[in-house]
Copies of this chain bind each other. A is one copy, B any other.
Amino acid sequence: MDRRPIGVFDSGLGGLTVIREIKKVLPGEDIVYFGDTARLPYGNKSKETVTRFSKENVRFLLKFKVKLIVVACNTASSVSLPALARLFDVPVIGVIRPGVERALEVSDGSAVGVIGTRATISSDAYKRLLKRRIPEVKIISKPCPLFVPLVEEGWLDNNITLRIVSEYLGDLKKAGVKTLILGCTHYPLLKSAINKFMGKGVRLVDSAHETARTVKRVLKESSLLSDRTKSRSHRYFVTDEPANFKKVGEMFLGTRIGFIKKVNI
């Protein structure tokens, strides 16, 4: 039994999809969220820089005596998880492994696609983990650098978005991909456009739900679950001005953001 909060970080807003799922499966847990909005995006930056940022973010969250840390950002999970695990004592959970577990559950043995930022795809983190679990399956990965700016522009389903989706995903469709891992927390917002192009038979894997299940399992196994049935506080910290984060974040979360504060780290 442990009433300390869970710490979650992302480069910006995307990680809120993970928060939404954690709140569903763990309604009694307090949460401290950190969004590095002044330095986003992470997806086009080097492994070294993203790892440095990730370490700083974890150090910030540790000030709140968090009992577990969720790296709710695919790029940071892809490139910095080993370094974080080495450096810090607290359990650290990324979004890659849960996404892979989910893909294995829904896959029928046909080709698996992975899409993400340039940094995530170059890291080969998904590919390596998938290869280890299903060595015989064909894996095709593709960086889609314009997807995040499209989501941020709010062009979720217009003709231009459909053209960009078909440009990026053409090879995956041709190769017969039937399971597609959305390896970036922004991409679920493009589900409708991606479905239209790939066809209804293709299963889209979004790691948020699976990550929340992993968090619950790890807390349980380590006897770190809170004994409360209702959480006391969800606090949000960001590095750029909070106004836009709050507005768009409430859309991501589907609930109001009560406590939000700008910090310099």
Q: Mark A residues whose CB is within 8 Å of B.
A: 37-39, 44-46, 48-49, 52-53, 145-146, 148-150, 152-153, 159-160, 163-164, 167, 239-241, 244, 264
Contact = CB atoms under 8 A, between A and B. Distances in A.
Contacts of A150: 146
B160 A241 contact: no
B152 A44 contact: yes
A162 to B, nearest CB: 10
A3 B163 CA distance: 53
A213 to B, nearest CB: 33
Nearest to A264: B52
Given A38-B49, A145-B152, A163-B163, 12 more contacts: A37-B45, A38-B39, A38-B53, A46-B240, A46-B244, A48-B241, A145-B149, A146-B150, A149-B149, A159-B163, A160-B160, A160-B164
A240 B163 contact: no
A235 to B, nearest CB: 20
A238 to B, nearest CB: 10
Contacts of A145: 149, 152-153
A49 B160 contact: no
Contacts of A52: 264
